[in-house]
Amino acid sequence: MDSDRVRGRTPPGAARLSRRRSRGGTPVWASAVVAFLLLVITGAAYRPLASRLEGDLIGQINLPIPLREIPLRVDGWVGEDLAIASTTDAYMRRNFADDYVSRRYVNAAQGLWADLYVVYCASLPAGILGHKPAVCYPNNGWVHDGTETSQVTSRTGHTVDCLVHRFHKPAPSFQEIVVLNFYVLNGQITVSEDEFSGPLSRRPNIAGDPARYVAQVQVSSVLEHSARVAAAEMADLILTFLPDRNGQVRAAGMGEGPTPTAEAAERP
């Protein structure tokens, strides 16, 4: 028989077990795990907030030529700026956009129209994560019918990878829309958010380098043919306004004045 139990003393092993438990009987290791999880959760919540606050301290990073200087006339296409609500503009600039343009182009000769949206994110390059057609359109009442990878060929013969998204609104206000989109990451085209979703990409652009950025390009219309033709005929021009892989903005040295011509964009 255990002499410690007979004498009413707590055995050493039992004392150690007692010290491992909290007053409510929960093992101390469990409390430590809970504390660690809370630290991870609060840290995960803090990091985006800290990045946003650091982005505020950095301020807006400007392109050499603003995106609004993309020509309103591109061959047979004639553009008109689309109004953006002030609340939407404030949200975009607060969370990810250093510059953007939203415009409708009409090609009367071909009977086509398409909406162009280009957003440039440099102070918080990865701030654009999640702001994509497959998320934003359903959040505004559209039903997502599917997405597929595709390509368009620019006027200079360059192949541009893109995603093609299809949406509709159910009756009684039945509508359909097709959206082509792709990203430009530091001068290189990609269709995957994974390319800029890592820890390094999420860090604010403390150096204020306009060549470290993510841009998203969207071209949309009710007809896929319209969106494809517009994307193919404007892709080269759009890219001249964004820093290339060497950090150069070709639009800065084209044409007369701040607005280059579509023809100048085709020159190598």
Residue 56, pLDDT score: 53
Residue 18, pLDDT score: 45
Residue 57, pLDDT score: 55
CA distances to 74, 169, 252 from 173, rounded to whole Å, are: 33, 7, 44
Weakest mean pLDDT among 21-30, 135-144, 195-204: 21-30
Residue 20, pLDDT score: 46
Residue 58, pLDDT score: 66
